Amino acid sequence: MSLTGKIAIVTGASRGIGRAIAATLAAEGADVAFSYHRDDQAAAETQAAIEAHGRRAWAFKGDLKLSEAADALVAGTVERFGHIDILVNNTGTTQTKLFLETSDDDFDFIIDTNLRSAFMVSRRAALVMRRKKWGRIIHIGSIGGQRLVGGITAHYAASKAGMAGMTMAMAKELARYNILVNTLAPGLIKTDLADAFMTEKMMADFNEFHPLHRMGTSQEVADFVAFMASDKASYLTGETIVMAGGLS
């Protein structure tokens, strides 16, 4: 499943799933540019994890909700590495506000962070990928955009369901350039984000209910992303794959 010679961008990679994806793509041979928003120390740790595999790394600090940041990420990657083969749109966040408590600003924040940023970076990266007639665009969605599961808020579900629809349309349009577009929709993954909104009792209840009696891991997600980015997934496009350990 070698990615030797490939250039990847992973957004939102300063920790958790994003860091695991960046490091795993590097372990498979790719050089990796990645974005982060605030935490310089965490970004330095991700860069070290990439370079530990002998690959080149570039950390881009910016808010991908802004068009100019998306432009700078893609242009900076091409300037440093020459081209782009793989884009993983991992940037995302959530809120615990109920539908009736969600403000207009709350809605815009989640949609812009989770969906708009993926659209903007994908559009810019695809223009680069089509020059070589090869590319992989992988969105990190959520089971919450596909299934009714506890704790998923309306605006978060909308952002992730929108990602699935965007995937189908992008895949159809970009197939002529051999650019494959898919979404991986994990269930609950053990990350800092999950720890922030789940109490110990909630985690215990989840583990009791879940068919495998545990959360997924960032590495499990990263390993599947590496497969989706490789030539072994050459007939996979336009799909949203739920990876939730049987939860659905």
Q: How far is CA 178 from CA 35, 72, 158, in A?
A: 25, 25, 29
Structure tokens at 152: 């998923």
Judged on CB neighbours under 10 Å (0-12, 13-18, 19+), 169 is: exposed
Beta bridge partners of 30: none
Q: Give the whole-angstrom CA distance, residue 224 versus residue 216.
A: 12
Measured at the CA of 100, the angle between CA 98 and CA 103, to 5 degrees, comes to 90
The DSSP letter of residue 30 is: -
> What distance lies between CA 75 and its chain's CA centroid?
19
Active site residues: 156
Q: What dihedral do alpha carbons 126, 131, 136, 140 form, nearest 10°?
A: -20
Structure tokens at 40: 């310089």
CB 149 within 8 A of CB 143: yes
E strand map for the chain:
7-10, 31-36, 57-61, 86-89, 135-140, 179-186, 240-243
Q: What are residue 187's phi and psi, to 5 degrees?
A: -85, -150
